[in-house]
Amino acid sequence: MGRITFRVLTALAQEGEDPDAAYPLERRIRLGDGRTVYVGSGLPKTWVETELKPRFTVYSDREGTDPLVIVAQRHDQLVALASDKSEIAVFECPPGRGIPRPARSILPDGVSFRAGRFTTPTYIAFALLWPIWLVLQVIDFFLKDGEPSLWFPVRVAWKSNSARFGVSALKRLAVFDRFKFRPAMMDERLAFAHAVLELQMRGW
């Protein structure tokens, strides 16, 4: 499998406030392969942790029985943990005001993924060709199911330390909160964590 596209959607207000829900729903992640996973606030209910300050948990189900990745502050580190509490990655955030996006994520085996801002050539090309793109996008919208699928400029790209000048493991496209990742290069749990953190910390 080459690349998987997914879109991060904000949950409705009433969904996040449902008292009968297993967890407060914040977002849905809809994957191009037909799956949907769910982002809830807090830790899984079965976790009793005193050293973790939760950011969010990604679940494969609405019942909260199958957490995929838990993102939390552990002392002075922002970490992504698996359901068995093993470490998936540590996020390295640059110092400064506000809440910056993580500059990179570091895996236990030493592999790291660094976030890079959009490349100027993609935006120049998009600025010059946007009238053609718009026509094609409208045609594609009506021919498909209303879900845009054409090319967009890249807003942020994450590359591994071994492929600084190669292909990206994860990309955030410029519109629709859409992301693309390569499962052969990045664990989907880490891709989900990066995507949600990107939207939480940057939003635009």
The ranges assigned to domains in the chain are 4-118+153-201
* Phi/psi-derived region of residue 20, left when phi > 0, alpha when psi is between -120 and 50, beta in every other case: alpha
Q: What is the pLDDT of residue 101?
A: 65
Q: What is the pLDDT of residue 51?
A: 85
Cα dist. 111→63, 75, 150, 164, 169 in Å?
Answer: 33, 22, 31, 12, 12
Q: pLDDT tens digits for 94-114?
A: 765 455 567 789 999 999 998
Q: What is the pLDDT of residue 108?
A: 94
Band of residue 204 on the pLDDT scale cut at 50, 70, 90: very low
pTM given for the model = 0.80
Taking alpha carbons only, the member of 95, 111, 71 closest to residue 194 is 71
Q: pLDDT tens digits for 48-71?
A: 877 899 999 999 998 889 999 999
